[in-house]
Amino acid sequence: MSGVSSAAYFARRAAQKERVRILYRRALKDTLNWAVHRHIFYRDASDLREKFNANQDVEDVDRIDKLIAHGESEYDKWRHPDPYIVPWAPGGSKFCRNPTPPAGVIFLLNTYHVTHFLIHKFLSSCVADADRDCVQLRSRRQPLILTFHIFSYPSIKLKHPGVAYVSEDLLKTFKVDQL
C-alpha cells in the first residue's frame, strides 16, 4: 500500500465510522419515539444494538458502504411520522407559545407613579371608556392615543391590572429610565 492510498483508506474508514455512529444515534432516538415505555424501549434498543454488532467485524470498505446505505434506507422507511420534540425546542409544544410583542410596542406595568408621570408630563386628556374597561390617553406632542387598563387612577375603577401599550413614537418624547 502506498502512502496516498493508505491515507485515502483511513479517511474513508473515518467517514464510514462517523456515518455509522450518526445512523445508530438517530435509530436509537427514533426507537424511543416508537416505544413509549422504557421497558419496551430497553428491549428494542438491545435488538438494535445486536443488529449493529452483527456487522461490526466487516473490513471491506465497499461492503461497509452497502451496509450503511441499506441501514439508512431502513431508517428512512421506519422513521416515526410524529417524533417527540422537547417542548421548548423549535417545533416543540411550548416553543414560541408566548411570542414577543411586535417591534414598537412596550408593555409598562401600570403603577401609580407611571400613570401620573404619563398623565402630567405628556398627556393632555384622560377619557374613560366603560365598554372596554380602559382609559384612553391622548398625547400632547404627537397625535397618538394610548389605551390601557388602569387600576391606580383614583377617579376610575376598572377590573383589569394596568398594562400600557406605548408606541415607539411616544417613547421618542421621553426616556424610559425616567420612569
* 85 and 92 Cβ atoms separated by less than 8 Å: yes
pTM attached to this predicted model: 0.51
Where along the chain do its domains lie?
Answer: 3-77, 105-178
Within 10 Å of residue 51's Cβ, how many Cβ atoms?
12
What is the chain's pLDDT, residue by residue, as a tens digit (179 residues)?
455 588 899 999 999 999 999 999 999 999 999 998 999 999 999 999 999 999 999 999 999 999 999 999 999 999 999 888 888 888 887 777 776 655 555 454 444 455 555 555 444 444 444 334 444 444 444 444 444 444 433 333 333 344 344 444 444 444 443 43
